[in-house]
Chains A and B, each alone.
Chain A
Amino acid sequence: QVQLVQSGAEVKKPGASVKVSCTASGYTFTNYYIHWMRQAPGQGLEWMGIINPSGGSTTYAQKFQGRVTMTSDTSTSTVYMELSSLSSEDTAMYYCAKRGVVGSTAFFDYWGQGTLVTVSS
C-alpha cells in the first residue's frame, strides 16, 4: 500500500534552518510529483511547492522563494524540504503529499502524517 512517512518533530531557534524528509513506498517513486504544504496552529492549509522526484525539478510558492529548497533522493525514495531563516511564523505542521492524476485532473491522493516544526527562542 502507498505510504508517505515523514521525519519527526523539530524544535528550532529563530534564524535556523529545518530539513524535513518524506519517504515514499508502495508505488513507483519517480512517476509522481510530491507537494509540500503547511498548516499553522488553528489555521488553514498553505501550499509551499512541488518537486518532480525524477530529475528534481521544482516549483515554489512565491512566498517561500529564496527560503525553501526541495530535493529528492531516488535511491531511498525520499524527498526533502528545507526551510531557512526560520521565524515564529514558520511554526506549523508540515505535510508532504503525493500527486495523483486522472486524465488532466490532479489531486493529492496520499499524505504524510505531518511533521510539527516549532520555532522558539
Chain B
Amino acid sequence: AIQMTQSPSSLSASVGDRVTITCRASQGIRNDLGWYQQKPGKAPKLLIYGASSLQGGVPSRFSGSGSGTDFTLTISSLQPEDFATYYCLQDYNYPWTFGQGTKVEI
C-alpha cells in the first residue's frame, strides 16, 4: 500500500497567516491526490482534487500543487473558519490511503 506522510502533524497560526501543509507519497502517484478539511464532529469536506483543482464553492485562498511524490496545500490568508484538521488522500490505486492529518490551531 502507498504510504502518505503528511507534515506537520499540527501547527499554530494566526488569522491572516499563510499556511503550508505537505504530503509525501511513498511512490509516484501522478497527480492523483486530494485534500480534505474536517471539523470536529463533522464529515470531511473536499477542498482540492487532482492535486491542484479547486472544488466548487471552496474559497480561492485554498490552493494545491505538486505531482509525483510531493504535494502541498496552501492557505494564503488563514480565516477563523479554517481552523480544522486537513488530510491528504491518494486515489492512484487501491487501497486509497490518507495522510495522518494536520491540525491547524489558533
Contact = CB atoms under 8 A, between A and B. Distances in A.
Contacts of A102: 49-50, 53
A50 B100 CA distance: 21
The binding surface of chain A is classed by DSSP as strand
B72 to A, nearest CB: 17
B-side interface size class: 20 to 34
A44 B87 contact: yes
A47 B50 contact: no
Contacts of B87: 44-45
Given A102-B53, A107-B34, A107-B49, A112 B43 contact: yes
A109 B46 contact: yes
A1 interface: no
A47 B101 CA distance: 14
B95 A105 contact: no
A9 interface: no
Majority DSSP secondary structure for residues of B touching A: loop
Nearest to B90: A47
A86 B14 CA distance: 42
For the side of the interface on A, what is the size category? 20 to 34
Nearest to A111: B43
Which 6 pairs between the two chains have the least Cβ-Cβ distance? A111-B43, A105-B50, A107-B49, A61-B95, A45-B98, A47-B96
Interface of A: 35, 44-47, 50, 59, 61-62, 95, 97, 100, 102-103, 105-109, 111-114
16 contacts: A35-B96, A44-B98, A45-B44, A45-B87, A45-B101, A61-B94, A62-B95, A102-B49, A105-B31, A106-B91, A107-B46, A107-B89, A107-B91, A108-B36, A109-B55, A111-B44
